[in-house]
Amino acid sequence: MDDDALVAALRAGDEPVFCEVVSGYHGAMMRLASLHVSSRAVAEEVVQETWLAVVKGLDRFEGRSSFKTWVFTILANQARSRGAREHRIVPFSSLEADEKTLGVPGERFQLPTDRWPGHWSEPPSPWTDVPAAALEGKETRALIFDAIRSLPPHQREVIALRDVEGWSAEAVCSALSMSEGNQRVLLHRARGKVRAVLEQKLHHVVTA
Amino acid sequence: MTSYEDFPCAEAVAMVTDYFEGALSTEDRAVLERHLAWCDWCATYVEQLRETIRLAGTLRDDDVPAPVMDVLIEAFREMRGS
């Protein structure tokens, strides 16, 4: 169903269509909301409030973005303000200091006075020896989720939409009102930090 | 031609996302790819980022809990139903 048909059906009070779209978006909405608030229960409330706002605001939807983008924009705003009220999420302050090095701490590279300035001094060790079970396990997923949650808000939203939900760069820029360049910088930092968290954990698996 | 020394790993690492996103100039892309063909460490780094992206994409599940669906359907009926 295309957006026009979908919105028309919703405006006309088509219940099966409403249920379908609520179910279809639920996982993605819960994950996005969970990044901002302290618990699953609160995330559920945020998702619920978002749908109520969507139903109420249907007549105001003008189709300037896709319906999905519109819903997620409302969700992001609700989740953000709810999270801000909770004051629960504290970004890694130590990682913020490394922003300029774009994803990898500067001390991992050689100094200007070293033999190969700017080249790795502490290179990443391959994950090829990591057992698949450890890499694909629940624990690794939880670790990634926590790592994403701990990112500064914009990085968190960009990586969640791009890499977890698989949105296109364009859709993310539109939902979060940011330039493509800015989106790439945020994505780069976010991915770099999540990789670093994985590296730390997988290193222990290999050496254990 | 850029030599290994002239193109430090730190710079390669800084370019990876633009590389994945297709946002590098043809020239930068060629320089980076040459570096990656040569430097196992950076190639490992790039490989791990791809892996990170793939793993992030596995964070999915969820059905709508019945009580939430009930509340929403009721609100939908109230606001939209004829």
Domain chopping of chain A, boundaries: 3-86, 93-207
Phi then psi dihedrals of residue A191, to 5 deg: -65, -40
Radius of gyration of chain A (CA): 20
B74 touches A at CB < 8 Å? no
Report which residue type is found at A37.
V
Architecture label for domain A3-86 = Orthogonal Bundle (1.10)
Hey, how many other C-beta atoms are within 10 angstroms of the C-beta on A68? 17
B22 contacts on A by Cβ (under 8 Å): none
Give the pair of three-digit tokens for residue A170. Answer: 């364009």
Residue with the bigger pLDDT between B16 and A137: it is B16
Could you tell me the sign of the dihedral formed by the alpha carbons of A78, A79, A82, A85, in that order?
A: negative
In the block, which residue shows the tokens 């949105």? A167
Under 8 Å between Cβ of B45 and A5 = no
Q: pLDDT of B19-70, one tens digit each?
A: 999 999 999 999 999 999 999 999 999 999 999 999 998 886 566 777 788 8
Q: Which ipTM was obtained for this model?
A: 0.73
Q: Show Cβ contacts of residue A42 under 8 Å, excluding neighbours closer than 6 positions.
A: A33, A82, A86
Per-block average pLDDT, block size 10, for chain A (208 residues)?
A: 92 93 91 82 91 93 91 92 71 42 76 87 87 84 88 90 90 89 94 93 68
- pTM (two decimals): 0.70
CB contact under 8 A, A124 and B41: yes
What amino acid occupies position B73?
A: I
Question: Which pLDDT does position A129 carry in this prediction?
Answer: 81
C-alpha closest to that of A44 among B57, B58, B66 = B66
Which one is the CATH code of A93-207: 2.40.30.10, 1.10.10.10, 1.20.210.10, 1.10.760.10? 1.10.10.10
Q: Residue B55's beta-bridge partner residues?
A: none
A91 contacts A150 by C-beta, under 8 angstroms: yes
**Cα torsion A169, A141, A74, A89: sign:** negative
Q: What SS3 class is residue A44?
A: helix
Q: Cα separation of A151 and A120, whole Å?
A: 25
Closest CA to A43 of A87, A83, A85, A90: A83
Whether residue A158 contacts residue A179, with contact meaning beta carbons closer than 8 Å, is answered with no
CB-defined contacts A:B, below 8 A: 146
What's the pLDDT score for residue A92?
A: 41
Residues of A in contact with B49 (CB under 8 A): 191-192, 195
CB B17 within 8 A of CB B46: no
Q: What pLDDT does A70 receive?
A: 94
Check if A112 contacts B (Cβ < 8 Å).
no
Is A107 an 8 Å CB contact of chain B? Answer: no
Between B70 and B5, where is the model more confident? B70
Handedness of CA A152, A155, A161, A165 (dihedral sign): negative
Q: Which of B10, B41, B71 sits opposite A48 (nearest CB)?
A: B71
pLDDT digits (tens, 9 = 90+) for A8-42: 999 999 999 999 999 999 988 988 888 888 777 88
Give me the domains of chain B, ranges plus CATH numbers: 9-80 (1.10.10)
